Each structure stands twice: as C-alpha cells, then as structure tokens.
Amino acid sequence: MAWFFEKSPEISRERMKELVRQSGRECLERICAKPRKVLLLPPDITRAHSGAGWITNILYHFFADEVGADVYVIPTLGQHVPHTPEQNRWMFGDIPEERILVHDWRNGCKTVGTIPAAYVKAVSGGAADWDIPVSLNRLVLEEPWDIIVNIGHVVPHEVLGFANHNKNYFIGLGGKDTICASHLASACYGIENNLGTLITPVRHCFNKAESEFLRHLPDVYIQVVMRYNERDELVHSGFYCGDDLDTYLLAAKQSRDENITIVPPLKKVVAVMQGDEFFSTWVANKAVYRTRKAMADGGELLIIAPGLKRFGEQEEVDRIIRKYGYAGTPRVMEAWRKNEELQDLAHATAHLIHGSSEGRFRITYAPGHLSKEEIESVHYNYMDIEEALARYPIDKLQNGFNRMPDGEEIYFISTPSAGLWTTRDKLNQ
C-alpha cells in the first residue's frame, strides 16, 4: 500500500509543503538513512501548473541542505524540447542550473529489456502486435543513486488512462524505441478507449516492465491530484506517497472522481492553453484529447493558444506534422504503411491520429505565432488570436457554460490539461 496519503477538498500550500517534507523523512526511514546521491524526477514545464516545480525545490533543499546529499534533477521531458535556464528558474526556483540535467531520448538511453509482442497483443485485444523495447535514461540506471523521487500530477491521459507514476520512466525518461512503439500501440487501441481508464494496454505493459526491469531502483512516487474549488481555482486535493502500484491506483481513482466532468454533447467549446507552458500543437493538443469525448457531431472546438509557435517539439516531428497533417486515422495509417519516416518516428504517427477529430467536429486554433496558412495546412481551422480574445474575453469567462452578448452559448475550459470532459455514454468505467 501507499506509505501515506491525504485527501481534502482543498489542501493548502503550507500543508502541501509539510506533506512534501514528510515524504522526504519517510525516504530516510524506508529507503536510505544517510543518502549520498539523490535523484529527483519531476515532470516538465507543460505540467508546471501542478506545483511540481516548487515541490521539487522543497525536496532539493531538504536532501541537499538538511541531509547533505548530492542532489540532481532530471525533468522527465520524453521527447519534448529541453527547458531553457530561464524556464528552469521559473519552474524550479533557486535549484542551481548545473544540478538540472537534460534527458536525451535519442542518445542517452540504455535498453534493459522488451515487452514481447504476444503480451502486447493480449492486453490490447489484438490492436497492437509488436514488441515494445524498454530503454531508459542511462543516468537513472547507471549512477549509484541512494534515493530516487518521482514527482507527478495524476490526471486523465490519452495514452495511459491517467498520467504519471511509471510514465515518468518509460515516457518521460524513455528512449526513442520505447516512446515510438508505445505511442503507436496506444493510438491503434484508440485514444477514446484510453482516456479515463485506470489500466490501459500500455499501462499494463509499463507495469510489467517496472516489475521486471526496475525492481532494484531505490525509488518512491509522490503523486498529486488537483480539482477546481468553489472559486473556480485549480487547487491540490490529494497527495499520495508510496513505492507501489497502489499509490498510483489510489490517486487515479481520486482523479477519476474529481477530474472527469460529464456534460451533454457540446456544440461550442472554447479552451485556453497557457502561453507560458504550451508552445507546440504536440502539447497544446491536450485540448483536443481532453474534450473530444464531449464534442457534439458537427461542433467546434476553439483553442486559444498565445504561446503556440510550432507544431512538433522536435524539428523532425514538426516537419512530419507539416507534411502529413492531422488528416484522420485512415489517411495517416495509409501513409505510415508507405513511408519510412513515419515508421521510424511512430510516436509522431500516433500524434497525428490523436490530434484528428476524424471529421466529426471542427478544430480551430487561435495561435500566438503561427500563420493562418500554417494552421490550415495541417487540416485545422484558423482564427486570429486578437479577434478570439476580443470575442471570448478569457479573464471574464467562467468554467462551464457561458452566454455571450450576441446570444452564442459556449462551454469554457480554462485548463484542459487538468481534466477530461465526456458525455455519459462515452465515459470509460
């Protein structure tokens, strides 16, 4: 079971700080009393709203200043763009830049095993039938860590049902082959089958991989859950600390109760992807993933994304998105069968599938830095961001239904990445 946990309608910042410090003390009692080297594994900047940055800062100073350990941080980037020093300071505070290491998903990983095709086929109901190689960041595997602390936000997720737990290892610190094979498997199984499911096929595979290949690591998980309070503010409502699968399951069940909103089919959704966190459609498309099960046939999703300046996180993925676009599963899979670049970067192929409405509803972007021609070239609609902000003043809208002055009814979502919206008939149990 989890070492300890706390649930409340709202956990204050001061109480969260104490729970974080309690986690550190538990690590000293349960893992290593006098650690020499400690590794902290927080999410990247796209989950900064979870408080993971200041949680990491508290842990850094606990282990470095009070315990005297040599402490390092590796943001679990996956294949996202590494943080700039300015972004590290914004997210992690005064942790020295030289203590924040960069994950290299192409050249910095080591293969530790394989999830065999037969297992993948069995847990996916035949939707995927290939091996998933398991490769992870070499520093995690080869350095003599005495304590490893995973920090993360448990929230509905398009690949793993709910984010975090061992996703930190196999995606956040995973190698290219692991990221590609697992993302394509999830896409073939179906994004709407994954969202809000406690154990998806890929999660099954990752649980097996952790049990077989990472059992020796001296690690623990800190999992937070967030919800909107009565003032429409995103606050912490759950804190879970432990070293087993139950730690994830307890947090995921709370997230399922608090972060999934059941709505009628929505004809018009206006969603905001924060300009200081989301710079590419690769991550901003969480607005598509988390609302697609709520969208009415023929409806429109408008995504206001003031920070948007590219499509892919990596240059080669950006090029692939520009070349093939979010064209729907049949066209993308046909292209995948014919083109080696899509086969080589299968996670990009999966992303193209995840980001398509399959022609069922319209997706419109109001980007801060991409042109109308660029947006329309990838099969999305375009709206000028100034026009969008004038028509939909996001600082005045309330989460949920709003009636605009001209009579238009919209459903507003200020932080799509913090939840999942679905009609009752599409809710995964």
**DSSP codes of every residue in 213-260:** HSTTS-EEEEEEEEEE-TTS-EEEEEEEEESSHHHHHHHHHHHHHHHE
Round to whole Å and give the CA distance between 254 and 259: 8
Residue 89, token pair as written in the block: 């300071």
- As a residue count, the chain comes to 429
- Containing 323, the helix (H) or strand (E) segment is helix 315-324
Q: What is the CA radius of gyration of the chain?
A: 21
CB 317 within 8 A of CB 155: no
Q: Phi and psi for 149 in degrees, rounded to 5?
A: -115, 120
CB 60 within 8 A of CB 97: no
Residue 373: count of CB within 10 angstroms of its CB: 8
Place of tokens 């049990």: 211
The closest alpha carbon to 47, from 278, 216, 271, 249, belongs to: 278
Residue 358, token pair as written in the block: 């399959």
Q: What is the pLDDT of residues 270-286, one digit of tens each?
A: 999 999 889 999 999 99
Residue 143, token pair as written in the block: 């350095």
Provide DSSP, 15-53: HHHHHHHHHHHHHHHHT-SS-SEEEEE-B-GGGGGGTHH
Strand order in the sheet with 295-305: 381-382, 362-367, 295-305, 266-272, 409-413, 400-403
Round to whole Å and give the CA distance between 284 and 8: 30
Residue 344: count of CB within 10 angstroms of its CB: 13
Q: What is the pLDDT of residue 65?
A: 97
What's the gap between Cα 170 and its chain centre?
13
CB 40 within 8 A of CB 59: yes
Round to whole Å and give the CA distance between 411 and 283: 21
Q: What is the pLDDT of residues 145-195, one digit of tens each?
A: 999 999 999 999 989 999 999 999 999 999 999 999 999 999 999 999 999
Q: What is the pLDDT of residue 429?
A: 59
- Containing 186, the helix (H) or strand (E) segment is helix 176-189
Strand partners, 180: none
Beta strand 409-413 pairing with 266-272:
parallel
Buried b / exposed e across 86-117, counting CB within 10 Å, b at 16+? ebbeebbeebeeebbeebbbeebbeebebbee
Kindly tell me the sign of the dihedral angle through the C-alpha atoms of 93, 94, 97, 99. Answer: negative
The closest alpha carbon to 168, from 51, 77, 286, 47, belongs to: 77
Global pTM reads 0.91
Round to whole Å and give the CA distance between 395 and 264: 25
Residue 413, token pair as written in the block: 């979502």
Report residues of the chain scoring pLDDT below 70.
429
